Amino acid sequence: MPRQAISLSRQLRRSLARSSLASPSAGCLRFLPAVLTSLLLTSEAARAQFVGPMTVTSTQTINNNATVDSTAGSFEVNTAGNNQPGFRILGGASLTVLPSTFGTFITTQGANSSAISVESAIHNLFLDNLTIRTFGAGSDGILLQQQGDNITAANVTVTTSGANASALAMTAAGGGQSSTESFTNSTLASALGPVIRVSGGGRNKFINLTSSTVTAAPDGQWLNVTGASSVVSITASDATTLTGAAFTASNSTSNLVLSNGTRWDMTGSSNVTDLTNNDSTIQFAPPVGGAFKTLTTVNYTGDRGTIGLNTLPWHRRLAIGPASDLRRRSRLHHPLGSQCRRPRRGDLRKRHSGG
């Protein structure tokens, strides 16, 4: 028996010995060690609230710190109705999904049924070996509705199939708490909505993508930023792949950093506020029906970055602001793949803030 249980047992014996309950004929003291051990084991088991192998078919509401343990077998949450998220997280609770070869799975079928819905502020999510699938309209993979909610994720796959459903949605308004969502070796994909959606007008929102993949539908957006004064900073590094267009509303701000072999396959005209391209590639998709894509940014900086154009640079398919710095070691490539000269003044269309 644990030392603390023995000590507690001794204290109870002394207390009972002084009372009428300590009758020798009762014999209850003989059972105290076993009872205390049982209580301690029950308390330990309660800390790991969700243990596989198990499948549940209703929303799991979390008000206290919780752990999902699939080391002995998969833990699965499957909900079928509308407005039935997989996990609903409240009250400052944290959720930890432990790494496991079996994996953890969250699947929702109905509309407005996010796989993980974080509905209050100041939560920490630690996710590993987790697969999320949602099929209903408006059913985001991970929905963060307040600020101060942070994610540390590795080996996570999030796919959404319903209309207006995003793999990651940050909708908090106001508040000064920082929210940082970090994904490593992970995959985010949405078929009928922007993969990453930032709205609500809140600031201090950060997203880190490391060795990960973010994939939109062929005509979709991998990033959508809207809402008055919404500000998000995204860092994609270590061979991360981004596929799709990026959209930033005129009253919002998006800061995008590509580094260390990251590739952005830009399938539609896009705009971001500040763009840094270090040792990475922005590849324009080929024109469809003669319609070329345009990338607009207020500020551009790059060191050893590559921009793959489907037209000559003086055709002005890259629009940057006056404060931008297209370094000499940045490269522009025309359709045949050979390196173009560094553009002269007037080759690049200039856009001022908000343009």
The two tokens of residue 333 are 């490539």
CB atoms within 10 A of CB 3: 7
Note the pLDDT tens digit of each residue in 130-188. 999 999 999 999 999 999 999 999 999 999 999 999 999 999 986 678 999 999 999 99
The predicted model scores a pTM of 0.80
Cβ(176)–Cβ(204) below 8 Å? yes
**How confident is the model over 94-113, as a mean pLDDT?**
97
Q: Which residue's structure tokens are 């609770």?
A: 93
Contact 343, 313 (CB under 8 A): yes
199, 223 contact by CB (below 8 A) = no
**Residue ranges of the alpha helices (H) in the chain?**
3-17, 32-47
How far, in Å, CA of 57 to CA of 84, rounded?
Answer: 10
Distance, CA of 194 to chain centre: 13
pLDDT digits (tens, 9 = 90+) for 233-257: 999 999 999 999 999 999 999 999 9
Other residues' Cβ atoms within 10 Å of the Cβ of residue 119: 17
Question: From CA 321, how far away is CA 299, in angstroms rounded?
Answer: 5
pLDDT tens-digit series, residues 26-75: 444 344 444 433 433 334 444 448 999 999 999 999 999 999 999 999 99
Say which amino acid occupies 14.
R
Contacts with 183 (C-beta within 8 Å, 6 or more apart), sequence order: 151, 153, 154, 156, 207, 208, 209, 210, 212
Asked whether the beta carbons of 9 and 35 are under 8 A apart, the reply is no
The kind and range of the H/E element at 330 are none
pLDDT over 70 percentage in the chain: 73
B/e letters for 13-48, b = 16+ CB within 10 Å, e = fewer, are eeebeeeeeeeeeeeebeebbeebeeeeeeeeeeee
Q: Enumerate the domain spans of the chain.
A: 1-47, 49-350
Higher-confidence residue of 274 and 11: namely: 274
Position 336 pLDDT exceeds 90: no
Average pLDDT, the chain: 81
Q: Residue 186's pLDDT is what?
A: 98
189 vs 241: CA distance, rounded Å: 12
Helix (H) or strand (E) holding 298: strand 295-303
pLDDT at 308 (0 to 100): 87
CB 219 within 8 A of CB 267: yes
Q: Work out the average pLDDT over 313-326.
A: 52
- Determine contact, residues 173/145, Cβ cutoff 8 Å: no
